[in-house]
Amino acid sequence: MSAKVAEIFETMEYGPAPESEKTALEWLDQHKKTIGHFINGKWVVPVKSKWFDTINPATGDKLAKVACGTKADVDSAVKAATSAQKKWQAMDNHDRTKYLYALARLIQKNSRLLAVLETLDNGKPIRETRDLDVNLAARHFYHHAGWAQILDTEFPGYEAHGVVGQVIPWNFPFLMMAWKIAPALAAGNTVVLKPAEFTPLTAALFAELCMEAGLPAGVINIVQGDGSTGAEITLHPGIAKIAFTGSTDVGRLIRQTTAGSTKALTLELGGKSPTIVFENADLDSAVEGVVDGIWLNQGEVCCAGSRLLLQEGIADKMIKKLKRRMKNLRVGSPLDKAIDMGALASDEQYKKIDKLVKLGVKEGAELVQPGKDDCPTKGCFYPPTMLLNVQPSSTVSEVEIFGPVVTVMTFRTPEEAVQLANNSRYGLAASIWSENINLALDIAPKLKAGVVWINSTNQFDAACGFGGYRESGFGREGGREGMYAYLKPSYLADLPSYKDSKAKRSAAAHVKAVEGLGTIDRTAKLYIGGKQARPDGAYSLSILDAKGKLAGQVGEGNRKDIRNAVEAAKKADGWGKSAHHLRAQILYYIAENLSARADEFKKRLSDLTGVTPAQAKKEVDESIRRLFTYGAWADKYDGDVHYPPARFVAVAMKEPVGTLGIVCPDENPLLSFVSLFAPAMAMGNRTVIVPSEKYPLLATDLYQIFDTSDVPGGIINIVTGHRAELTKTLAEHDDVDALWYFGSDTTGSEMVEKASTGNLKRTWVNNGLQRDWFDRDQAEGEEYLRYATEIKNVWIPYGEGEGGGKAY
């Protein structure tokens, strides 16, 4: 009797399906198994003759000897990039486009060699390098060839940074390199890039493709090396912008060491992304989602779905299905085309993962490794692993394991799912499984993550920005937002430094400390949670007018007041969900009420700052106008819909950053205050504002206007006092999500960048440059709105039957 089909499936064995490594090994032979740096269009040996070996982690075989860059190598790469930059930027956009297009074509032509070389160097399955990494990299160059072509019309008023330093990790070496290089070149920058020590080879092959494409010498420079080489790049004074992808620890270090250097910085860091499966999910699809989410690339994926959150009713069923599926996952030679999981990138990584898993078990987790016996014992192979009964506070549910390990927790209600999902210091990605579209679309905006996949996972496209919230870093790669990361406003080059301007006068001349609040309290208090609040320290400061006479007193806020203000702001999170129409109405209302009291404000400005009545009128008028501008933007700066080449729409939502600290400058104290709080408020943020230290009365005079303009309590909190002390508290506060700093000193900018590393808050500092608050190119518009928002891409599949598949 013939066997049933189901039985055949049970007994069928996979035959071997090896990909040949011949061409890749021949390529290494052509290079005498020695890879130097690629600087100024040529291969060069390291100045200090320092080398390291790169190893195939699946076999332990040495693949090549690779140059290890030192300061001298980085210097010569930066020199080459600097001399190539002006010409590259000045080149006709269409010509730059043609180079990017040529690189995309060359990647496609060499796709197999690239895929095999990547697999040999990294240990990841050929199935993934061939079908995902290399194709997505080519797509990235095509997409950015397009941005280069239309750069002038799409980014007017913006220009390249200059020389960009880029440091990438080993998990998607070729793809991460493409994500970095393509937008940098499209925007007119030149590049010094360091691949990871474990995976130097595909970057070297790419250098060869650059030569073949005839790319001008110095436009791309690849300096191989280790962490110390990376540090040389990030610290180099000739580099104007750093783009880093890697661990949160190193990202934090880079933020600290580049603080105050005026270098622009984007960080793409780690993650601990949740996969949320609701009771009404298609469980079989969800199982495949988990497989793709955590076992793709051996789990060495920044956005890996490493925390599985299951609704209680289906938890047992789902775990049972997963166990069965895990048994069928094939771990083995990454060059075998029928392998699901290859080798980890290094022995070091193996040990790190194993140690964390053992710790998880020690902390009470149940270890599930159904395929353990089939996992090769030689080479860096780790079986697909699931940890059950994990507590939210255990190490394995908090730290990024960066390996094929998923932790499992259960939840009862959608609210609980959101709470658990957001209970992480990271915020890179999330995946939601539910057949109820209303539920899925309700949950997506509530998750703190830069990317949310509905009924899918690990979808990427060059047109859809990718990047994180919180300690997953700042900045996006891909799409329009990714291009902005490689551009800066052109006006910045013309801003004078405060050093050369009259505006830098000591605040002390205008401010005097007074103990106690006096018998008749005429002191303007702080403004916290929509109410006037006495300063915690019961001290006040006397504010002098332009003639040196006492103009009034303000509360001297301290750390505790900042903490109270942040708490009030945090509680007012409903503002971020409020209708955009409402935000517009309130901003118009503030403008209307300011207009009604314009004379009073004009007088105050003249008295305090000594400006003429005409100048005071101009400032009040411009402030009213600016409020209208942001009232106008409030319901217009909305998102985009992307159409990646698969059956998805990716909805790019612009969300408020959250609680935003704002430190205002002294000049034009009314206008600069309005110019900063209005865009933040229009985009749904809650603010804690430190107004001008010299002229705080302009801000405190606004309390009544806020009260009569229906501003909900907690949206605008104002703490007067000594700016340096208050700023530091804001920068160090973990519940402040972003901090804008405008001041007359560079030390303040440096301090803000350095002190903000605790929770890796987004910072926007003026580096001691003075902008003209009347110049609308500098003082209002999209730049402000961009700093006031995060972009979240929500991927929504459509179509019945096969569903949204990968298009590459």
Provide the annotated active-site residues: 268, 302
Largest interatomic CA distance in the chain: 108
> Contact letters (x/-) for ligand TAP, 440-479, by CB under 6 A?
----------------------------x----x------
How far apart are alpha carbons 135 and 793 in whole angstroms? Answer: 21
φ and ψ of 163, to 5 deg: -95, 130
- Amino acid at the residue 323: K
Report the nearest approach of ligand TAP to the CB of residue 298 (Å): 12
Nearest distance in Å: CB 685, ligand TAP? 24
DSSP string, 232-301: HHHH-TT--EEEEES-HHHHHHHHHHHTTS--EEEEE-----EEEE-TTS-HHHHHHHHHHHHHGGGG--
- How many whole angstroms separate alpha carbon 113 and alpha carbon 130? 9
3-state SS, one letter per residue, for 94-140? HHHHHHHHHHHHHHHHCHHHHHHHHHHHHCCCHHHHHHHHHHHHHHH
Q: Is 196 in the site for ligand TAP (CB under 6 A)?
A: yes
C-alpha span between 560 and 151 (Å, rounded): 47
Nearest distance from C-beta of residue 414 to ligand TAP, angstroms:
27
- Distance, CA of 126 to CA of 132 (rounded, Å): 10
DSSP 364-379: TPEEE-TTGGGS-SSS
Pick the piece of the chain touching ligand TAP (CB under 6 A) from 239-247, 331-339, 566-574, 584-592: 239-247
253 binds ligand TAP (CB under 6 A): yes
Query: Which residue has the closest beta carbon to ligand TAP?
Result: 230
Compare residues 227 and 712 and give the one whose CB is closer to ligand TAP: 227
CA distance 744 to 506: 10
Could you tell me the smallest distance in angstroms from the CB atom of residue 443 to ligand TAP? 22
What does the DSSP assignment read for 479-523?
Answer: HHHHHHTTEEEGGGGGPPBGGGSTT---GGGGEEEEES--SS--E
- Distance from CA of residue 2 to its chain's centroid? 58
User: Can residue 400 be called a binding residue for ligand TAP (CB under 6 A)?
Assistant: yes
Q: Per CB under 6 A, which region of 35-43, 169-177, 530-538, 783-791 contacts ligand TAP?
A: 169-177
Interacting residue with ligand TAP among 227, 529, 712, 797 (CB under 6 A): 227
Exposure string over 362-375, b if 16+ CB within 10 A, otherwise e: ebebeebbbbeeeb
Residues 291-310 interacting with ligand TAP (rule: CB under 6 A): 302
Taking the C-alpha atoms of residue 647 and residue 456, their distance in angstroms, rounded to an integer, is: 11
Of 123, 162, 188, 271, which one interacts with ligand TAP (CB under 6 A)? 271
Could you give the CA distance from residue 760 to residue 250 in angstroms, rounded to a whole number? Answer: 12
* 577 token code pair: 């969900």
Q: Which is nearer to ligand TAP, 428 or 662 (CB)?
A: 428
DSSP 788: T
In sequence order, the β-bridge partners of residue 394 are: none
Return the structure tokens found at 182.
Answer: 């393509």
Q: Is 661 among the residues that bind ligand TAP (CB under 6 A)?
A: no
Concatenate the DSSP letters of all residues of 623-679 into one string.
HHHHHHHHHHHHTTS--EEE--SSSEEEEEEEEE-SEEEEE--SSSHHHHHHHHHHH
Q: Report in angstroms how near the CB of residue 199 gets to ligand TAP at its nearest.
A: 8
Stretch that binds ligand TAP, among 250-258, 350-358, 376-384, 716-724 (CB under 6 A): 250-258
247 binds ligand TAP (CB under 6 A): yes
Residues in 401-440 at the binding interface with ligand TAP, rule: CB under 6 A: 402, 428
Using CB under 6 A as the binding rule, the residues of this chain from 616 to 645 that contact ligand TAP are: none
Give the residue, chosen from 169, 404, 478, 555, that forms a contact with ligand TAP under the rule CB under 6 A.
169
Length of the chain: 808
CB atoms near residue 18 (< 10 Å)? 12
Q: Of these, 135, 234, 455, 558, which contacts ligand TAP (CB under 6 A)?
A: 234
244-252, 355-363, 496-504, 658-666 -> range binding ligand TAP (CB under 6 A): 244-252
Q: How far is CA 585 from the centre of its chain?
A: 31
CA separation for the pair 520, 534 (Å, rounded)? 14
Contacting residues for 13 by C-beta, under 8 A, at least 6 apart: none
Compute the least distance from the CB of residue 428 to ligand TAP, in Å. Answer: 6
Q: Which position among 194, 470, 583, 626 is part of the footprint of ligand TAP (CB under 6 A)?
A: 194
Task: Kindly state the number of chain residues that form the binding site for ligand TAP, as judged by CB under 6 A.
Answer: 30
Nearest distance from C-beta of residue 753 to ligand TAP, angstroms: 16
Which member of 177, 231, 463, 485 binds ligand TAP (CB under 6 A)?
231
Rounded to a whole number of angstroms, the minimum distance from the CB of residue 473 to ligand TAP is 6
Nearer to ligand TAP, 271 or 661 (CB): 271
Cα separation, 89 vs 93, in Å, equals: 8
Q: Is 731 helix (H, G, I), strand (E, B) or coil?
A: helix
Q: Does 263 bind ligand TAP (CB under 6 A)?
A: no
Backbone torsions φ then ψ of 684, nearest 5 degrees:
95, 10
Compare residues 473 and 557 and give the one whose CB is closer to ligand TAP.
473
* C-alpha distances in Å from residue 575, one per residue of 107, 214, 584, 685: 47, 53, 12, 7
What is the closest distance, in whole angstroms, from the C-beta atom of residue 46 to ligand TAP in the complex? 14
Q: Closer to ligand TAP by CB, 173 or 218: give it.
A: 173
Report, in Å, the least distance between residue 569 CB and ligand TAP.
28
Of the pair 301, 584, the CB lying nearest ligand TAP is at 301
Binding residue for ligand TAP (CB under 6 A) from 69, 162, 246, 274? 246
Nearest alpha carbon to residue 170 among 335, 297, 353, 272: 297
* Sites for ligand TAP among residues 714-753 (CB under 6 A): none
**Which residue's entry shows tokens 């009259």?**
502
- Smallest gap, in angstroms, from Cβ of residue 277 to ligand TAP? 23
In the list 136, 167, 184, 715, the residue contacting ligand TAP (rule: CB under 6 A) is 167
163, 345, 353, 680, 759 from 250: Cα distances, Å: 21, 19, 19, 30, 14
Would you count residue 673 as binding ligand TAP (CB under 6 A)?
no
The span of 170-178, 291-299, 664-672, 754-762 binding ligand TAP (CB under 6 A) equals 170-178
Of 145-153, 267-275, 350-358, 361-369, the segment contacting ligand TAP by CB under 6 A is: 267-275
Q: In the bound complex, what is the minimum distance in angstroms from residue 736's beta carbon to ligand TAP? A: 22
223 binds ligand TAP (CB under 6 A): no
By the rule CB under 6 A, 171 interacts with ligand TAP: yes
Q: Which stretch binds ligand TAP (CB under 6 A): 8-16, 227-235, 712-720, 732-740?
A: 227-235
Q: What is the 3-state secondary structure (H, E, C) of 216-238?
A: CCCCEEECCCCHHHHHHHHHCCC
Check residue 346 for interaction with ligand TAP (CB under 6 A): no
Q: What CA–CA distance (Å, rounded) separates 466 from 452?
A: 10
Among 135, 245, 456, 717, binds ligand TAP (CB under 6 A): 245
Binding status of residue 353 toward ligand TAP by CB under 6 A: no
* Angle (nearest 5°) at CA 661 between 656 and 666: 130
Q: Is 250 in the site for ligand TAP (CB under 6 A)?
A: yes
**102-121 footprint of ligand TAP as x/- string (CB under 6 A):** --------------------
Minimum CB–partner distance for residue 185 and ligand TAP (Å): 19
Q: Which of residues 26-85 bind ligand TAP (CB under 6 A)?
A: none
Pick the piece of the chain touching ligand TAP (CB under 6 A) from 263-271, 404-412, 625-633, 773-781.
Answer: 263-271
3-state SS class at 478: coil
Residues that bind ligand TAP (CB under 6 A): 167-171, 176, 194, 196-197, 226-227, 230-231, 234, 245-247, 250, 253-254, 268-271, 302, 400, 402, 428, 468, 473
